[in-house]
Structure 1
Amino acid sequence: MTEFFYEPTTEQLPHLSLNHEYLPHHFVHVLVPPTAKFNPLIIFIGDSQEQLHIIPLSHLSSHGFTIAMLSADQLTGDLHQQVSEIKSAIRFLLLHAAQFSIDTNRVFIWGENHGANLSGITALTVNDPKWNAEDPRVLPLRLRAGFLFGASKYDKLTAMIPAHKRPALFVYNGECDSFDESSRDRFIHTYHLQNEAQDFILKNTTSGTSAFYTPYMLTTIESQLRKYL
């Protein structure tokens, strides 16, 4: 006897597509929500392929975010080149917006550990020609906000804050992270003089652990993202 199910039959889970080559030997993985509409884009930069946090990010993606994941360990060259490669990845995604269901006017960047340092520099130098492989006048990048999980190079970030306005930043560290507290405070204070900035400390943990990706934390991040949609 045939049994019928009356549960909702629409798609609920995001689609994960792997290894989109945006530069030779450079790849980005993309989570696309199961919706037909164009979604805000989050660029997530992890330390390595093993730290892309696909499972918790897929939960966030299912709430209406296209999430592109790339690992910092595939980036090459000096700091300028690594940052320019991140921007090349963002432009690749924007040029394929229809394929990945992306709203090109709503872009966020999010990094962890070394990826957080790179994300911060990307936000601070977004259309500076010296930090772009492509001509930013042809396809300028506009970031709504950035999320830095476990950044440590706060003195360098402070020295790079430009005179003109930059995206809002949400700075997260674990209490057990290795960073200079005074440098962190100085960066937050200096950035907050003309830009939006909020900082947070997670007690009794280090960045990169699952404590940063619990349902409670993902709900917090989502609420912060939605403020800038």
Structure 2
Amino acid sequence: MAVLSDGAENRRDSIALAFRDAKITCLEFDDAIHGLRTSSMHCFEGPEWQHLKRGRESFAWGPVIKSDPLGRCGAALIYGLQMAILKAAQVGQSLVGEDEPTRALSSSAVRVESSYLIDLRALETNHVKDFTFVHGYIEPVLVILHEREPTWAGRISSKHHTCMISAFSISMTLKQHPVIWSAANLPHDAYQILSVPPPISGVLVVCANSIHYHSQSTSCSLALNNFSSQPDGRYYL
């Protein structure tokens, strides 16, 4: 579940729910019924989307959905390597049909206007562990924690620090997503990425034995115990 909110006092938040295997539903509060109603649904299942599974019939976990801090879009990781981008409608834009009463978005909830897919395989972003949106950018920036070459505790002597983060600037109008910065050589046991609120911004990468801070301009690390080490094998101070 994710909350779409642009922070405006005269606009309500919307709720985005993700269901197996690749279904997304957006809900908003309706004054007429004093309850939630569906504002949009997005489904990436069926014969036309079968190629996204790459021959698999089951996945370890269902879709994971996150939202931009300013409510400009949401993102859902489906089928492990497909990122669905949910574009929110701009303030004042109406999504109702001709036979429905006109209602500007400035007085209603944040709504999803359209959606499209990003193939993470084409971006060489495999083995995704987590992702988040970050603060402080003109366009939405999606930071993905992924592993370049999988390893495990039994192979630490030969392969370690195999994770990295990549920050993609999401241009929903052009449907382009260039990498604007990245950080490599993160521990193999990194499992979570958290967005840091402004004025600091950036992200925290949480690992089993250390915590790493990264932004476009700086980075630092904090060891949590004696088992954490740097990419060259040295231990943190």
TM-score (norm 2): 0.28
Larger helix proportion of the pair: 1
| Bigger relative contact order, structure 1 or 2 (CA pairs below 8 A, ≥6 apart) | 1
Larger Rg: 2
The answer to which structure has the higher strand fraction is 2
- Normalising by structure 1, we get a TM-score of 0.28
